[in-house]
Structure 1
Amino acid sequence: MAMHFQAIIRAVAVLGIGLILAGCAEDIGVDQYGRKVAVERLEGQWLVINYWAQWCAPCRTEIPELNALEKQLKEQSVQVLGVNFDALQGEKLSKAAQDMGITFTVLAQDPAERYQLPRAEVLPVTYIVDDQGRMRERLLGEQTAAGLTARLAALKAEG
């Protein structure tokens, strides 16, 4: 009877630890609305990561193109992500993203380390990361939805 009780205790302990670990799913920070961005949401997807700032005039004209790109490629395992160059957080980030008309996800935490992106020294800069998490291209200057779609297609064809 005691051995049966110990087996039950062990099973409950293992189940509890599993539930605790499941609750600790890895995330890469929060978005402009303060919502967690889970890594699972980005794994296996191509990422277009754009660094922007409110004071950057080319960024302002590029944002509508990135909004269109995200809508256009949402069903094709491509995610558009923004990162504020000035590292704004919380309400300031939310307001800046809203003022810029950004509809895609803006990360409050810079993902450069996770994806081994070179430091952004000019704006705008856009990185294309493949579905394996490797940076494939760094594009300096203002981008268009058509240009990014063509680059993504070419990179996917290269494998």
Structure 2
Amino acid sequence: MGRRMGVVLALAAGLALAGCSEDWGLDQHGRPVAAEQLEGQWLVINYWAEWCSPCRGEIAQLNALAEQYRGRGVRVVGVNFDGLQGAELARASEALGIRFGVLAQDPAERLQLPPGEVLPVTYIVDAQGRLRERLLGEQTAAGLTARLRALHGEGS
């Protein structure tokens, strides 16, 4: 009887895990980014590079946006355009003063984002994982807030 219960529990655990989405890799601090941290929320995904002057200029605005929306269903996420990893990613993020999460693994394929040939580029993805907007150039917290409000108002 104990063996049957073990099999039933194993099957139940397997079914429960099958419904879970794949995690998003590591952040700039080497911490895992669990699927439940980002899925089901609006995402503002910003691609940046240390050598990109407008990227450097918008970091304070993105930090402000991340703070403004903390716990309100919108997450600001950074992605290093040059694909920095580990200690290099941590150093670059710190040097730019980034206070929001930076993904070590590019989510472009996962979210079917079009390639960004210009920096900075910011994508707004809705809570269902659909790309809603692609914004080229330096962004402000006020401008992104206005875009988020307008997109929310479209009934999503």
- Taking structure 1 as the reference length, the TM-score comes to 0.90
Q: 1: distance between equivalents of 2:124 and 2:104?
A: 19
Deviation track 1:41-89 (CA, whole Å, cap 9, x = no partner) reads 1121100000000000000010000000000011321000000000000
| 1:59 aligned counterpart, secondary structure | helix
In structure 2, the partner of 1:105 is 101
Q: 2: distance between equivalents of 1:93 and 1:148?
A: 25
User: Which one of the candidate residues 3, 7, 28 is aligned to 1:13?
Assistant: 7
In structure 1, the partner of 2:111 is 115
Q: Which amino acid aligns with 2:99?
A: T
Deviation track 1:117-157 (CA, whole Å, cap 9, x = no partner) reads 00111100000000110000000000000000000000000
Long gaps (5+) in structure 1: none
In structure 2, the partner of 1:37 is 33
Overall identity of the aligned pairs, in %: 65
Question: Structure 1 residue 55 and structure 2 residue 46: aligned?
Answer: no
Larger relative helix fraction: 1
- Taking structure 2 as the reference length, the TM-score comes to 0.92
Q: 1: distance between equivalents of 2:15 and 2:118?
A: 40
In structure 2, the partner of 1:140 is 136
CA RMSD of aligned residues (A): 1.6
Work out which of the two has the higher radius of gyration on C-alpha atoms and give 1 or 2: 1
